[in-house]
């Protein structure tokens, strides 16, 4: 039965747990859009190989001998074996199953016993390569061979990040946080997209950042949306927000990228929201800091952010428990949740 309401609404609750729906999202969203897959520090030298995911596609980043960065499907052309299981350094890519061997640029170099096969064409059986592009140290892949340039998707986002006082090229990678959530990936994205819950759920964050509707600014662009949080004049708490970055920025690039800049020393945490199943999501967050950020401040930020993350995990898992039954059929969105509506519109457009 449809709820009769005269207010902006969420997506239908059924969309958050239906396995067939996730299949459509993989096909129509994750196979078509630019996605963050890692950083240049993972593939800094010729021969460096890094494993990643774009939606459900296994991706292999490879720096070839000439220094060119490639993104290949991490799938052997023989019988489909995953080629590389973890980040490593090699002069070729050799399948662990029957030892088909590929050059770092993806060309098939040799296949044992292939001389006995009629019409075996090495050249036709290179790895499937995907469009790859960088914004500073951040690497993006798009599974669509006809993808428009990454720049068109990023738009003014790099300028916004620079305006916070962060030079992304000067940042140093610190660590990757990986977390698993018993919730649909869209619930994780939507939770990121509003701070209406912050006064209720995040005591540590709200001691530092002014999340009142008057101060906390929301902004939408074509493919991303942004939240700007000024430091409270009477801030307290465990993280010192004074430094060259004067306010917080929290960006979301459709379909699944979160980017955080916390006030204090220059910093970025960036990472994808990856569906593992209709009701299970992995979140990655790569932390970068300016080289002169104090070690004690970095540790304070990591601890502060981990607490916020744990608070969010409880929230998104509770939403999943509630929406699973699909009754009522959908929820309500307030004005301060309009970035969720922006995300929902892009998603609905992609799904047709």
> By C-beta, is 97 or 334 nearer to ligand FES?
97
Among Fe ion, ligand FES, none, residue 279 binds (CB under 5-8 Å by kind): none
Distance in Å, CB of 196 to Fe ion, minimum:
10
Which x/- pattern, by CB under 6 A, does the window 69-88 give for ligand FES? -------x-xx-x-------
Q: Do the beta carbons of residue 171 and residue 266 sit within 8 Å?
A: yes
Question: Hey, what are 238's tokens?
Answer: 């465990």
State the binding partner of 312 from ligand FES, Fe ion, none, CB within 5 to 8 A by kind.
Fe ion
Distances (CA, A) of 60 to 49, 163, 206, 207: 7, 33, 40, 41
For residues 73 and 316, which CB has a smaller minimum distance to ligand FES in the complex? Answer: 73
Q: Smaller CB distance to ligand FES: residue 99 or 162? A: 99
Q: Which stretch binds Fe ion (CB under 5 A): 27-35, 256-264, 305-313, 332-340?
A: 305-313
Q: Please state the separation of Cα 254 from the chain's center in Å.
A: 9
The residue to which tokens 């942004």 are assigned: 226
Residue of 335, 244, 236 lying closest to 292 (CA atoms):
244
Nearer to ligand FES, 110 or 163 (CB): 110
Q: Is 26 in the site for ligand FES (CB under 6 A)?
A: no
The rounded Cα 100 to chain-centroid distance in angstroms is 32
Q: Which is nearer to ligand FES, 94 or 129 (CB)?
A: 94
95 part of the interface to ligand FES, by CB under 6 A: yes
Nearer residue to ligand FES within complex by CB, 117 or 234? 117
- Residue 108 to residues 58, 124, 143, 177, 192, Cα–Cα distance (Å): 18, 8, 20, 35, 42
Asked if residue 305 binds Fe ion (CB under 5 A), the reply is no
CA distance linking residue 169 with residue 50, whole number of Å: 20
98 binds, among Fe ion, ligand FES, none (CB under 5 to 8 A by kind): ligand FES
How far apart (Å, rounded) are the C-alpha atoms in residues 236 and 121? 67
Question: Is residue 5 within 8 Å of 329, Cβ to Cβ?
Answer: no
Q: Name the residues that contact Fe ion, by CB under 5 A.
A: 312
Q: Name the residues that contact ligand FES, by CB under 6 A.
A: 76, 78-79, 81, 95, 97-98, 100
């Amino acid at each position: 039965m449809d709820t009769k309401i005269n207010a902006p609404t969420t997506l239908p609750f059924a969309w958050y747990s239906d396995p067939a729906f996730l299949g459509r999202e993989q096909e129509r969203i994750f196979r078509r859009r630019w996605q963050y897959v890692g950083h240049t520090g993972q593939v800094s030298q010729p021969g460096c190989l890094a494993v990643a995911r774009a939606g459900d596609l296994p991706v292999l980043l490879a720096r070839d001998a000439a220094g060119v960065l490639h993104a290949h499907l991490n799938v052997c052309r023989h019988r489909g074996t995953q080629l590389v299981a973890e980040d490593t350094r090699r002069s070729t890519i050799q399948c662990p199953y029957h030892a088909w061997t590929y050059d770092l640029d993806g060309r098939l170099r040799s296949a044992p016993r292939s001389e006995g096969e009629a019409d075996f064409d090495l050249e036709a059986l290179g790895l499937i390569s995907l469009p790859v592009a960088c914004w500073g140290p951040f690497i993006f892949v798009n599974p669509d061979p006809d993808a428009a340039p990454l720049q068109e998707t990023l738009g003014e986002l790099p300028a916004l990040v620079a305006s916070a006082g962060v030079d992304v090229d000067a940042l140093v990678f610190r660590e990757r946080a990986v977390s698993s959530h018993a919730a649909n990936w869209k619930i994780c994205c939507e939770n990121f997209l509003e701070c209406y819950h912050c006064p209720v759920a995040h005591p540590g964050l709200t001691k530092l950042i002014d999340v009142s509707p008057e101060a906390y600014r929301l902004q939408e662009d074509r493919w991303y949306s942004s939240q700007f949080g000024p430091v409270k004049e009477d801030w307290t708490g465990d993280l010192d927000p004074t430094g060259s970055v004067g306010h917080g920025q929290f960006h979301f690039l459709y379909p699944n990228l979160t980017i955080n800049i916390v006030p204090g020393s220059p910093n970025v945490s960036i990472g994808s929201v990856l569906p593992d199943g209709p009701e299970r999501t992995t979140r990655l967050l790569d932390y970068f800091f300016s080289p002169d950020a104090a070690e004690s401040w970095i540790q304070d930020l990591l601890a502060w952010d981990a607490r916020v993350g744990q608070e969010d995990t409880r929230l998104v898992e509770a939403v999943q428990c509630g929406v699973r039954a699909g009754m009522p059929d959908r929820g309500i969105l307030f004005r301060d949740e309009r970035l969720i509506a922006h995300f929902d519109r892009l998603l609905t457009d992609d799904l047709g």
